[in-house]
A and B are shown apart, each in its own frame.
Chain A
Amino acid sequence: MKDEGKLMDCAQFKEIYHELDRPGTSGYRFRERALSHAETCPRCGALLTEGEALDFALWNLAERSADWNASPRIEANLLGEFQQVKLAGSRKRIRKQFAILGVAAAVLLALGIGVHQRMESGAPTAWLEAANLAGNPAAGTTTAAVAGGSTPPGESTSAVSASANPTDENEYAEEFVPVPYADDPAASEGGAIVRVTLPRSALASFGLPITASEGTDRVSADLIVSQDGTPQAIRLVSQENANSDF
């Protein structure tokens, strides 16, 4: 109702007369003007009277029904349900806590096993040290099995199998150097030491610094080869008199 200053007309009155006593409505806001209009307009006056009678009848009905309540049985049922839901909720919580504890225990167990295995396999380079100790001076020929890295240092000299041929007294070998892609030291367990002869230029592929001018002759080298056939480490072997090559 935009024209607040003007007198109310019948259309405006009909729109709001049912909410003259309802706070927060436009009827309540323009109550005085609506009443003034009803005093001057017999038809709207009659509407107002009828509306008031309806208000009273509704109020009367509301008054009479004010004490209506659901039977106590409903409250008892609901309390029973509430207790059940509460119980189920606490059971669910307990189950959840057990599940969390179970997962935590499993994680701890897995960690423990992992740490244990790591301790058993020793430090990543232990296998290499073992092999170096065993093979220096280098094994004379062919292959020798590489033992697990957990072997105590004192026994590590036996890490290279005794089946390897006796070391040639004239041979001189460097220490084993891991090849660049040998990222899993454990992979060499159960592997073998293989004596190979290869072009010097091929040493570059094992990560050894070789200049292009040096790459023409052939050299002997021991490779630690894992069970899957991947070279894990390399050392160069030479005769005493050829030591100057390296």
Chain B
Amino acid sequence: MDKSIEKLILESFIKSMCSVYKNLTNKELIIKGVEKMMNPAFKYSEAVTIVGFSGMIVGRMIVAMPKELCAIVYEALGAEQPSDDDLLLAVGEFGNMVAGNAITRINNHLKDANVRLSPPSSFLGRT
């Protein structure tokens, strides 16, 4: 893949994450660093959302976050005291917003990219 497109994709997702997080919580998200994963497998014990995308670029976005953060997102969406099922919905919705925002940036930059999202899937507990 062209390095400039790779850079665009990475920046789009990072900017979208920061933007959606700030819109929901009114707080800044601090990016500690960006690391390339050599091993595609990873373990996480809290909340995870996966959003696939296809078009000129094909891939998936995975967001892994603590349950407490899911609860903040859930409450920012207008409700209180989420159950586990509510947290599942919240993390999925968060992923959908971030991925949607990122893909819009990419499609705006690259005409004819026509990147589309599949629905978000969410997971809670030890994965």
Do A and B come together as binding partners? no
Interface residues in chain A, defined as those with a beta carbon under 8 Å from any beta carbon in chain B: none
Interface residues in chain B, defined as those with a beta carbon under 8 Å from any beta carbon in chain A: none
